[in-house]
């Protein structure tokens, strides 16, 4: 369960997302500028001339119990900040992990050669307009300027995409350049949000969930067994991505259900002691085995046809198609691109 992220697949993730996903380490090339690393979340544990490895200090346990039944309907989705804080509250956090802020002197500039301007619509919403009759470029590179009122670990949210800007100092002006796809018909609108990350709140939530950790007694390639003792109706959360191919067997109660919480596998359980066995059944594998056995059977029949005087299988050319019959009934119908199996028609004549 020691999952890993790299700079190539890290864009858009947040400290809370990493905790929910069970990310333990972050790997990057030595000397590479990687501003997405949150120094209050990741600690460097290994460094060589070729790479650097950071350990996530806020990783949640592999499985843990939450009091009560929670579901996705309880998560606020109006803004990124509301969503993240809503999830943290459902997990047991008493204070928000992200605190929204309003910096001073927020404005956007664009290169002069683009002939574009940014109109401030209020509340950090900007509209990109064309100042001339020239064709609007497909991509622009605006620069966001702002002056924070407080010092701390700052996140920018542009169109719902979180970006770790880094540690800022109150009263100092900062700028951030980003790429933007422009609309050729309508004015392109940019919505910016700012929030501070509270690492102490995140660490406190980590400690609470570790106290409520469930025990994994077995972990294999096709199944995993979780031992959980709950004093009330609870929800067990895991790092496993939700998949409908998961099946659950419990030896203590039938009042149990699987569901997806924030794309992760979760289990509603009643109060009591539970030994939960999660089994993953990959049906395409069994279908492939059946097709392999069927092909072997057909090959055996074709081999038999070569040895007997009166073959039981006949191949008949019908235009551009080939019909293979057995006992005068069509079994296969082969076209240029497809093969149709019609053996189920045999009993019906």
Q: Which of 218, 273, 266, 222 is nearest to 250 (CA)?
A: 273
Strand partners, 91: none
Average pLDDT over residues 82-94: 92
Residue 292 is predicted with a pLDDT of: 83
β-pairing verdict for 152-158 and 188-197: antiparallel
C-alpha–C-alpha distance, residues 125 and 112, integer Å: 21
Between 298 and 133, the more confident residue is: 298
3-state SS, residue 7: helix
- In angstroms, the Cα distances linking 227 to 134, 203, 232, 236, 272 are 66, 25, 15, 11, 11
Strand partners, 147: 104
**Residue 2 confidence (pLDDT) above 70:** no
C-alpha–C-alpha distance, residues 252 and 286, integer Å: 30
Lowest mean pLDDT among 133-137, 251-255, 298-302: 251-255
The tally of CA atoms less than 13 A away on the side-chain side of residue 219 is 7
The pTM assigned to this predicted structure is 0.72
Q: Which of 180, 181, 198, 161 is nearest to 58 (CA)?
A: 198
261 token code pair:
């919480």
Number of H helices, E strands in the chain: 4, 27
Mean pLDDT, all residues of the chain? 79
Among 90-94, 281-285, 296-300, 305-309, top mean pLDDT goes to 90-94
Residue 349 is predicted with a pLDDT of: 32
Lowest mean pLDDT among 26-40, 89-103, 148-162: 26-40
pLDDT in tens, 224-236: 899 999 989 999 9
Residue 37 is predicted with a pLDDT of: 66
Taking the CB of residue 53, how many other CB atoms lie within 10 A of it? 15
Contacts 24+ apart (CB under 8 A), 288-295: none
pLDDT in tens, 186-196: 678 888 999 99
Residue 345 is predicted with a pLDDT of: 37
């Amino acid at each position: 369960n020691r999952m890993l992220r790299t700079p190539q697949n890290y864009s858009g993730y947040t400290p809370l997302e990493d905790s929910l996903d069970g990310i333990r380490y972050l790997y990057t090339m030595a000397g590479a500028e990687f501003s997405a690393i949150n120094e209050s979340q990741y600690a460097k544990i290994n460094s060589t001339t070729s790479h650097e490895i950071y350990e996530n200090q806020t990783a949640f346990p592999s499985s843990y119990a939450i009091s009560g039944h929670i579901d996705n309907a309880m998560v606020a989705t109006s803004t990124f900040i509301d969503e993240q804080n809503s999830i943290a509250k459902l997990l047991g956090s008493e204070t928000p992990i992200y605190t929204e802020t309003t910096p001073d002197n927020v404005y956007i500039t664009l290169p002069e050669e683009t002939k574009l301007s940014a109109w401030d619509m209020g509340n950090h919403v900007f509209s990109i307009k064309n100042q001339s009759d020239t064709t609007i470029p497909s991509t622009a590179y605006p620069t966001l300027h702002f002056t924070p009122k407080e010092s701390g670990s700052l996140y920018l949210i542009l169109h719902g995409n979180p970006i770790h800007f880094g540690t800022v100092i109150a009263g100092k002006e900062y700028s951030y350049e980003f790429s933007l796809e422009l609309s050729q018909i309508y004015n392109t609108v940019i919505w910016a949000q700012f929030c501070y990350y509270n690492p102490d709140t995140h660490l406190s939530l980590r400690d609470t969930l570790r106290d409520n950790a469930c025990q994994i007694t077995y972990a294999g390639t096709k199944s995993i067994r979780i031992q959980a003792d709950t004093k009330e109706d609870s929800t067990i959360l895991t790092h496993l991505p939700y998949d409908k191919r998961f099946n659950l067997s419990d030896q203590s109660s039938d009042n149990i259900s699987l569901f997806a919480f924030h794309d992760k596998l979760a289990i509603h359980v009643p109060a009591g002691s539970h030994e939960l066995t999660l089994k993953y059944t990959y049906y395409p594998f069994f279908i492939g085995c059946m097709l392999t056995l069927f092909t072997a059977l057909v090959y055996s029949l074709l081999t038999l046809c070569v040895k007997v005087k009166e073959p039981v299988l006949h191949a008949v050319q019908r235009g551009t198609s080939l019909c293979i019959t057995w006992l005068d009934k069509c079994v296969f119908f082969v076209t240029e691109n497809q093969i149709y199996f019609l053996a189920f028609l045999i009993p019906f004549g």
